[in-house]
Structure 1
């Protein structure tokens, strides 16, 4: 959907307000009225720009990500993964983990949210991730037929999501690096 009427600064302000509201009230209680009030926008503007609450939330998630994994290319899979782990900021990861857990819950009862998140956030991230892994295969770092390759993204998402649940603490760069060294790299033969 075209978003030509908003300046990048205004769009960023709006996205951050949407995520703040999500953290405060959760997806189900989030309303376009509340977003309009918080952002000093009209609901008509919000619907014209994004079409629906799920599309606005998915766009906010995508556009406020601090890093683009598609831009990470250190020349080795190990370097790429360690760079991704190093990008994690402990405070931000705690906020993001709580937000993601709330959204994971919401997608079970909101198929439109799940579809919007898949189209706007998940599929582009997965494509960038697969490109990163394919570069490693092309360089000969991992075998294309390694059975762990098809579960790689599951392993990484699992580490991010489950640390808070199991240990009561958000994943941080040290945990992620240890997880990579202990689980992911051995599974890949790296």
Structure 2
């Protein structure tokens, strides 16, 4: 590559670089579009128009819509379960339920918005698994592994494999069962009534 061409490439890279503040603005527009109309309502053209950003800049930075949506979800995500360590498995699971219950509302809207798209778009599914779902599953699995190490549950307890899917499944469908999961106490109640007994841990008293 000639010196002139290399200089032109560096200049183009500088022009297309997005500042952290601008990136957050773009992500905010993506999330607003998701809440307003779901995954299909998000387009590169729509994000560009809403933020006065060149469409070419978006494609240079994220390549595809699924990458942009996943990046926006990941950036907005405050880890639910990472860092929870109360010293006991029951305490960890109760704390996880309280943390998840406190994140209802706008987070739930986003998950509902991408729920159907998750099933229909393999590229979005792969990206969300890697950046959003896998870290939360790993955090729950780590709680269970510590419980095994402390001797609180048996390593061969078959319920272990279903704890993370159970947690995330309830979060995913709570909007369909508003009569049963209508407030922040629903997930803690689910832990006491279902998860702890399945693991052989006595639930807390009334």
TM-score normalized by the length of structure 1: 0.85
> Which residue in 1 is equivalent to 2:192?
181
Cα separation, 1, equivalents of 2:86 and 2:19: 33
TM-fit CA distance, 1:171: 5.2
Among 149, 153, 165, which residue is 1:142 paired with? 153
Q: Does residue 1:99 correspond to 2:125, yes or no?
A: no
Q: What do you get for the CA RMSD once the two structures are aligned?
A: 2.3
Task: Note the residue ranges of structure 1 that are not aligned, 5 or more in a row.
Answer: none
Larger relative CO (CA 8 A, sep 6+): 1 or 2? 1
Residues 40, 85 of structure 1: CA spacing in aligned structure 2 closer, same or farther, 3 A cutoff? farther
> Which residue in 2 is equivalent to 1:85?
97
TM-fit CA distance, 1:38: 2.0
Q: Does residue 1:24 correspond to 2:24, yes or no?
A: no
Q: Return 6-15 or 16-25, whichever deviates more.
A: 6-15
> Which residue in 2 is equivalent to 1:72?
84
Aligned pairs for 1:118-133 (under 5 A) are 118-133=129-144
TM-fit CA distance, 1:182: 0.6
2:175 aligned counterpart, secondary structure: helix
> Which residue in 1 is equivalent to 2:7?
none
> Which residue in 2 is equivalent to 1:15?
27
Q: Does residue 1:159 correspond to 2:181, yes or no?
A: no
Residues 131, 39 of structure 1: CA spacing in aligned structure 2 closer, same or farther, 3 A cutoff? farther
TM-fit CA distance, 1:170: 5.2
Cα separation, 1, equivalents of 2:50 and 2:199: 47
Q: Does residue 1:58 correspond to 2:70, yes or no?
A: yes
Count of matched residue pairs: 186
Which has the larger Rg? 2
Q: Does residue 1:43 correspond to 2:59, yes or no?
A: no
Contact 2:33 2:41 (8 Å CA) reproduced:
no
Residues 181, 18 of structure 1: CA spacing in aligned structure 2 closer, same or farther, 3 A cutoff? same
1:87 aligned counterpart, secondary structure: helix
